[in-house]
Structure 1
Amino acid sequence: MRPSPRPPGKSDDRSPPHPEPRPAGHPSDESLGPVPEWLRQPAPDVQPGRADRWRIALGRHSGRLLGGGVAVLLLACSGVVATVGYQGYQRWRAAPVAYPTISPPSGEQAVTSASPPPATGPFDGTPAAGFPEGAAGIALPPAKRTGPFTARQVTDALAKVRKAVVTARLDRAFFTAKDPERLVRQFAPDARADVRDDFPSGEAGSYATRLAPGARLTADPPRVRGRLSYRATKDRDGIRILAVTANFVWAYAFPTASTTPGDGVVVVHDTVVWSVPHPGDVRPGSVGLWIEKSDSYASNIDCAAWDKGLLALGRPSFGGPADPDPDAVFDPDKTLDLPDTC
């Protein structure tokens, strides 16, 4: 659903907008000659090492273009395919793979700068050990007058986005709540129906964390790294909007009996473009927070749960030749277009 433009000359018109339709035989030993004795011996059993037990089950969600009124659904395929050891993945490759980085969007931006806590606990041995805890990893850029938006309007928009992001990705009560209203009510009234529909369809997984039934987190706060940026632009209907791009990696700790670093860590990397329309361009019900588009992937997950927009720890497994670089999933500057192993 798009924000509803304000009818000319009707600044107090509060009639509800009309949503647009939603898109929906071997040779013998004799012929080979004598066989050396060492070839007749059985191969020794080799137990998987520490590096082999770091696995990543990779899935991808892509959320609806709420601002454009177009439903975009790029759900991951089902089935868990695990990957190789954290240090040992290169032995499966003919050559290393370098994943492309993301070009930061234009406009004012702020990058995570808070110091990480002491490295103890489930994140040890992974890049997330160097991430700040929780909301400390979400830094706001300085609010400046931008296009038609005043510094105060920019400040208010950034505050709305930060609050929504914290609820969507860090609020434990929201993760397990029966309904998603803690987040839904933070959107513009005209956007809320579509946001509610995102949860049963699984699309909300591209911008919000909901735990699968029976899944639980440890007491360790999630680790966060990424950036927020904003710019003034217009949507396809010519409505002036402040677009706020949130690009973050979220690392969650799940209970596990394994002592291998990272075995209990689920990583979600999302890029979400939030928007706030200029109040002079829309009717009152459309004033507030919207989502223009969202995309995400997750690693070390239960793929069946992820297809439903839910988060749970994947099952232990071992590696194979199609595995991604384990470090790439922790890097907010890497592309979201990583090999899909779900």
Structure 2
Amino acid sequence: MTDPRSAPDPHPSHEALGPVPDWLRQSTPDVRPGLADRLRIRLGRHSVALLGGALVLLLLACFGAAGLLSYDGFARPVAHPTISPPSGEQAVSSASPPPTAGPFDGTPAAGFAEGAAGIALPRARRTGAFTEKQVADALAKVRRALVTARLDRAFFAAEDPERLVRQFAPDARADLRKDFTTGDAVSYATRLAPGSRLTADQPRVRGRISYRATKDAGGIRVLEVTTNFVWAYPFLTASMAAGDGVVVVHDTVVWSVAHPDDVHRSSAGLWIDKADSYGSNIDCAAFDKGLLRLGTPSFGGPADPDPDAVYDPDKTLDLPDTC
């Protein structure tokens, strides 16, 4: 992990990059960009310590993901290794929407479930010190938070994040509010940039949820719930090319609920232990502020060998920056 306080500037100035080559001053050919040309991706990482009385933020540097965009951010073609599913009970999205014309046509998201139908919960079982009911309650808390954070349009545009924050343990809330002021909440919550508008279509969702009983560094018994989802958002755009109006966010979040016998009442409830994410086809400046806005296509740079990888929840989040 990289401490952002010591990380190099991910957006060097043109002066730092040296003279602009002559070929970049030539006029852009009148060619419709392909899917890879429309890819703009940034990886944002955010980690927090669990149940220490207050959440300790470990801000991680933004990394980016595959694709090609501006000439000051070329990346070599890269492979996309898969993610190893965590151990424990898990459930995977399986519902598929009926075939209809819309903004997702021509993209892998056309086969994803619509909205909350894509968030399938695993069966609750007695796990470690947690009863079946405690497991079911914890899973329900996580699902409710996911729906609010990633699918609730009222939350997307709300002035404050309380609609989501109040779903967490009281001791967790102050640091969560800070995440929204610094932009770090982008790793687990969707907020629209001013002026951005979604179509009437529901976002498309694919991913999985798993859980296990474990202990934190202080010996507190916790139920750890890991979510790994791809969220595809349909933004209004005048472009007719497939996928031009679709912003993709892939996140993995580790949620925790402590055993009620091990913590004070103010620490009982939902916490976020760690969150990693990237955004594709985004406005990078808005994403740095924790906001989503549709990116602007551009030309140049090497083509990614698998532009559809950003839609696959089994692909790695550790991808090179193109912003």
Q: Which bracket does the TM-score occupy, shorter chain normalised?
A: 0.7 to 0.9
User: Is 2:143 the counterpart of 1:162?
Assistant: yes
| Deviation of the 1:166 alpha carbon | 0.4
Could you tell me how far 1:340 is from its partner in structure 2?
Answer: 1.1
Residue of structure 2 aligned with 1:48, choices 22, 31, 47: 31
Task: Please list, as runs of the form range in 1=range in 2, the aligned pairs for 1:1-342 lying within 5 A after superposition.
Answer: 47-49=30-32, 51=34, 54-67=37-50, 69-76=55-62, 83=68, 97-321=78-302, 323=304, 325-342=306-323
Partners of 1:196 and 1:302 lie apart in 2 by 23
**C-alpha separation in 2, matches of 1:218 and 1:130:** 18
CA separation of 1:102 and 1:121: change in aligned 2, threshold 3 A? same
Q: Distance in 1 between matches of 2:140 and 2:63?
A: 36
Q: Is the 8 A contact 1:77 1:307 kept in 2?
A: no
Aligned-pair CA distance for 1:81: 10
Greater than 4 Å deviation, 4+ residue runs:
none
Q: Which has the higher strand share?
A: 2
Instruction: Give the distance between the partners of 1:117 and 1:270, measured in 2 at CA.
Output: 25
Query: Which runs of 5 or more structure 2 residues have no equivalent in the other structure?
Result: 6-27
8 A contact 1:54–1:262 mirrored in 2: no
Q: Offset of 1:74 from its aligned partner?
A: 2.5
Distance 1:49 1:123 in 2: 18
CA shift, 1:314, in A, is: 0.4
Q: 1:316 Cα shift?
A: 2.2
The residue type paired with residue 115 of structure 1 is: S
Residues 186-209 of structure 1: CA distance to partner in whole angstroms, max 9, x if unpaired? 000110101111001111000000
1:51-94 per-residue CA deviation (whole Å, 9 max, x = no partner) reads 2675111101111314174422224379x99727xxxxxxx999
State the 1:291 CA deviation. Answer: 0.3
Write the deviation string for residues 230-254 of structure 1: whole angstroms up to 9, x where unpaired.
0000111110000000000000010
Residue type at the aligned position of 2:284: C
AA matched with 1:267 = V
**What is the rounded CA distance, in whole Å, between the counterparts of 2:66 and 2:260 in structure 1?**
48
The answer to whether the 8 A contact 2:121-2:209 is kept is yes
TM-score by length of 2: 0.85
The 1:238–1:288 alpha-carbon spacing in structure 2 relative to 1, beyond 3 Å, is same
Question: Offset of 1:322 from its aligned partner?
Answer: 6.3
Summarize the Cα distance change of 1:255–1:54 in structure 2 as closer, same or farther, 3 Å threshold.
Answer: farther
Q: Distance in 1 between matches of 2:173 and 2:268?
A: 12
Task: Name the residue aligned to 1:17.
Answer: none
Pick closer, same or farther for the CA change 1:169–1:194 going to 2, 3 Å: same
What letter matches 2:41 in structure 1?
A: L
Paired residue type of 1:173: A
Change (3 A) 1:101 1:211: same
Secondary structure of the residue aligned to 2:38 is: coil
1:255-312, Cα deviation, whole Å (9 max, x unpaired) = 1111100000000000000000000000000010000000000000000000011000
The question of whether the paired residues in 1 share the 8 Å contact of 2:75 and 2:301 is answered with no
Query: Who wins on radius of gyration, i.e. which is larger?
Result: 1
Take 2:35 and 2:158, find their aligned partners in 1: how far apart are those partners? Answer: 36
Cα distance in 1, alignment partners of residues 81 and 213 from structure 2:
27
Retained in 2: the 8 A contact 1:53–1:318?
no
Q: Is the 8 A contact 2:252 2:275 kept in 1?
A: yes
| Cα pair distance change 1:277/1:63, threshold 3 Å | same
Letter matched to residue 251 of structure 1: A
Identity of aligned residues (%): 71
Q: Separation in 1 of the partners of 2:46 and 2:213?
A: 22
How much has 1:216 moved relative to structure 2?
1.2
SS class of match (2:57): coil
| Partners of 2:165 and 2:305 in 1: CA distance | 35
Single out whichever of 68-77 and 142-151 deviates more from structure 2: 68-77
Q: CA RMSD in A?
A: 2.6
Q: Report the equivalent of 2:25.
A: none
